Amino acid sequence: MAIHSVSIKETGINYLSAVSGGLELSNQDRSEVFWSKSVSDLVDFVREVGLASTVYGSSTMDFAHEEGFEYYDDADKMWTQVLEAI
């Protein structure tokens, strides 16, 4: 059996997670991952690679306070800022 990885530039961002007070963006098989606490860095990355037709969120997005954010919904707020900026 062969496992094939598809470049994030071909598929776009497919998955996001709250990690250590920032957002982690990745392709479907998570072979390529980008992480940042900076909204402007996240915006630049999204502009560079694009979004998949569907973007899934980890449960960490619902419990961001357990991942270094002050409040449970701060990761969602950060993602909203990214989307509004693109």
Report the candidate in 6, 19, 9, 8 with the shortest Cα–Cα distance to residue 57. Answer: 19
**Residue 5 maps to a domain:** no
**Residue 34 maps to a domain:** yes
Q: Which residue has the higher pLDDT, 16 or 6?
A: 16
CA distance readout (Å), 23 to 2, 53, 83: 30, 19, 13
Class of residue 67 by CB neighbours under 10 A (exposed 0-12, middle 13-18, buried 19+): buried
Report the candidate in 73, 38, 32, 69 with the shortest Cα–Cα distance to residue 50. Answer: 32
Q: Which residue has the higher pLDDT, 70 or 1?
A: 70
pLDDT tens digits, 29-75: 888 899 999 999 999 999 999 999 999 999 999 999 999 999 999 99
**Residue 1 maps to a domain:** no
**Residue 3 maps to a domain:** no
How many structural domains does the chain have? 1
Q: Which residue has the higher pLDDT, 32 or 77?
A: 77
**Residue 76 maps to a domain:** yes
pLDDT over 80 (residue 5): no
